[in-house]
Amino acid sequence: MTTISEAPAAAQDGTARKLTYVKAFNEGLAQAMREDENVFVAGEDVAGYGGVFRMFDNLLDEFGPRRMIDTPISEAALVGLGVGAAARGLRPVVDLMFMDFIGVCLDQIVNQAAKMKYMFGGAVSVPLTITTASGAGLGAAAQHSQSLEAWLAHVPGLKVVMPCDAYTAKGLTVSAIRDDNPVVVMLNKVLLGSKSEVPEQIYGIPLGQAHTARQGSDVTVIALGRMVGEALAAADELAAEGIEVEVIDPRTVQPLDTETMIASVRRTNRALVVHEAVTFGGLGGEIAAQIQDAAFDYLDAPVLRIGAPFSPVPFSPVLEKAYVPDQARIVQGCRRLLERS
């Protein structure tokens, strides 16, 4: 059941093949660059080195140094360069390598990119794409493992996407680049090598549309990013017991497609939100609030949030494994929601 049910026609035509997450991203980016001359990439080690996660492999060869720009380690200037270039009509893709580094350039993202169109009375658009790798699970410790989507989703003017597999990594990246707003593409480090069916041709996945990754009738699990896979695995496990879990992948967390979630919860009457980010102040709280707001009378249990404990991401693998939510905790959570004496 761990399938992408709505891959475009190409998937059925046989032009889809299995690609890794990072290759799919790379392919989508390259195709978007071919599609639009105004797309360029800037960041630390994106050109000559191809990106520390090989996200930008071979792009320098095809697009040359004019469109593949290695920059100093200067995230504020880097994003600012993106903002200025975007305001002047280009479609920059700037790479922040690790999402944790966002702190050093948050002003450019939050006060400049996000607000420029609004504060300028609509006189400019900022079609800026910020790519960054997020998530724990690789022993990268607390400054290289965070999932900070809640910070960004809180800021009006920004869009935030969280691809959960290779298919969405490509489609969401293409849509982010084509979008006329600043979009942060939160790639997941652990998923970089994971494979799924990816059509060869360029395609976008609509921003702000959730995807029902699995249909079920008993409980709705809303999972962000890497947690989608964990939730699907949990759903498989629970299906063996006759519990049918509906898994919803928002794909875009800002704007958030709450309609799909709410419609689902109105059918299943139970909801669980799971994300890698710490539970406190995480999007689970926002999603839970929206559900209770629109589907209160359809709930048979309080909306359950599963996230990381309120601590920095630990280094030691044994601690990190205990820290990051996983299939087992989702299964437990579903059981708790469905518990009947």
Partner 1 sequence: MVHKAPRKSAAKITRQAASTVTHPASAQVIRDLHERMVRIRLFETEAGKLMEAGKLPGFLHLYVGQEAVAAGVMTALRDDDQITSTHRGHGHAVAKGVSFRHMYAELYGRVTGACLGRGGSMHINDVTLGMLGANGIVGAGIPIAVGAAFAARYKGEDSVAVTFFGDGATNIGAFHEAANMAAILRLPVIFICENNGYAEFTPQSKHMLITDVADRAASYGMPSVIVDGMDAVAVHHAAAEAVERARAGEGPMMIEAKTYRYYDHQGVKGLRHPYRSDAEVEEWKARDAIDLLEARALADGTATRAELDDTWQRTRDAIAEAIAYAEASPLPDTADLLLNVYSG
Partner 2 sequence: MAVEVLLPKIGLTMQEGTIDEWLVPVGAFVSEGDALLRLATDKVDVDVEAEAGGLFHPVVPAGATVPAGALIGWLLADGEQPPGPAGTPMPAEPGTTGAPEPAHQAVPAAPPSANGSHVPSVDGAAARNGHHGRGAGGRLLSSPNARRVAAEAGVDLGAVRGTGPGGRIVSEDVEDFLAAASVQAAQASAALPGEPATLPDEPAALLGESVTPVSPLVRRLAKERGIDLAGVQGTGVGGRIRRADLDAVPAAPKPAAAPAPAPAPAPAPTSEPAAARRPSRAVAGAPQPGDVLPFTGMRGTIARRMHASLQEMAQLTHGYEVRMDAVVALRAQLKQEWADSGLPVPSLNDFLVKAAALALRAHPLLNAAVHEDGVHLVEDIHVGFAVAVPNGLLVPVIEDAAALPLTELARRSRELAESARAGRISPARLEGATFTVTSLGGYGVDFFTPVINPGNVAILGVGRLRDGVEWVDDQPRRTRVLTLSLTFDHRAVDGAPAAEFLRTVAALLGKPLRLLV
| Residues with catalytic function | 75, 144
Residue 122 vs 341, nearer CB to partner 2: 341
Residue 116 site contact among partner 1, partner 2, none (CB < 5 to 8 Å, cut-off depends on kind):
partner 1
- Give the amino acid at 334: C
Rounded distance between C-alpha atoms, residue 190 and residue 10, angstroms: 27
User: Any contact of residue 244 with partner 2 (CB under 8 A)?
Assistant: yes
HEC states along the chain? CCCCCCCCHHHHHCCEEEEEHHHHHHHHHHHHHHHCCCEEEEECCCCCCCCCCCCCCCHHHHHHHHHEEECCCCHHHHHHHHHHHHHCCCEEEEEEEEHHHHHHHHHHHHHHHCCHHHHCCCCCCCCCEEEEEECCCCCCCCCCCCCCHHHHHCCCCCEEECCCCHHHHHHHHHHHHHCCCCEEEEEEHHHCCCEEEEECCCCCCCCCCCEEEECCCCEEEEECCCHHHHHHHHHHHHHCCCCCEEEEECCEEECCCHHHHHHHHHHHCCEEEEEEEECCCCHHHHHHHHHHHHHHHHCCCCCEEEEECCCCCCCCHHHHHHHCCCHHHHHHHHHHHHCCC
User: Any contact of residue 280 with partner 2 (CB under 8 A)?
Assistant: yes
Of residues 272-301, those binding partner 1 (CB under 8 A): none
Contact window for partner 2 (CB under 8 A) among 95-103, 123-131, 181-189, 261-269: 261-269
Of the candidates 202, 222, 201, which has an alpha carbon nearest to the alpha carbon of residue 211?
222
User: Any contact of residue 89 with partner 1 (CB under 8 A)?
Assistant: yes
Integer CA distances (angstroms), 159 to 5, 193, 246, in order = 24, 25, 25
Chosen residue from 66, 240, 318, 339 binding partner 1 by CB under 8 A: 66
Residue 181 vs 220, nearer CB to partner 1: 181
Residue span 245-264 as binding mask against partner 1, x where in contact by CB under 8 A, dash where not: ----------x---------
Chosen residue from 78, 185, 224, 272 binding partner 1 by CB under 8 A: 78
Residue span 124-143 as binding mask against partner 1, x where in contact by CB under 8 A, dash where not: xxxx----------------
- Give the amino acid at 52: V
How many of the chain's residues bind partner 2 (CB under 8 A)?
Answer: 37
Structure-token match 């905790």, residue found:
329
Residue 199 vs 216, nearer CB to partner 2: 216
User: Any contact of residue 97 with partner 1 (CB under 8 A)?
Assistant: no
Chosen residue from 62, 107, 259, 300 binding partner 1 by CB under 8 A: 107
Residue span 282-321 as binding mask against partner 2, x where in contact by CB under 8 A, dash where not: ------------x-xxxxxxx-xxxx-xx-----------
User: Any contact of residue 193 with partner 1 (CB under 8 A)?
Assistant: no
Chosen residue from 278, 283, 287, 313 binding partner 2 by CB under 8 A: 278
Residue 263 site contact among partner 1, partner 2, none (CB < 5 to 8 Å, cut-off depends on kind):
partner 2
User: Any contact of residue 266 with partner 2 (CB under 8 A)?
Assistant: yes
Burial of 123 (0-12, 13-18, 19+ CB in 10 A): exposed
Contact window for partner 1 (CB under 8 A) among 50-58, 81-89, 214-222, 327-335: 81-89
Residues of this chain that interact with partner 2 (CB under 8 A) are 217-218, 240-244, 263, 266-267, 269, 278-281, 294, 296-302, 304-307, 309-310, 329, 332-333, 335-336, 339-341
Residues of this chain that interact with partner 1 (CB under 8 A) are 40, 66, 69, 71-72, 74-90, 92, 104, 107-108, 111-112, 116-127, 156-157, 159, 179-181, 255
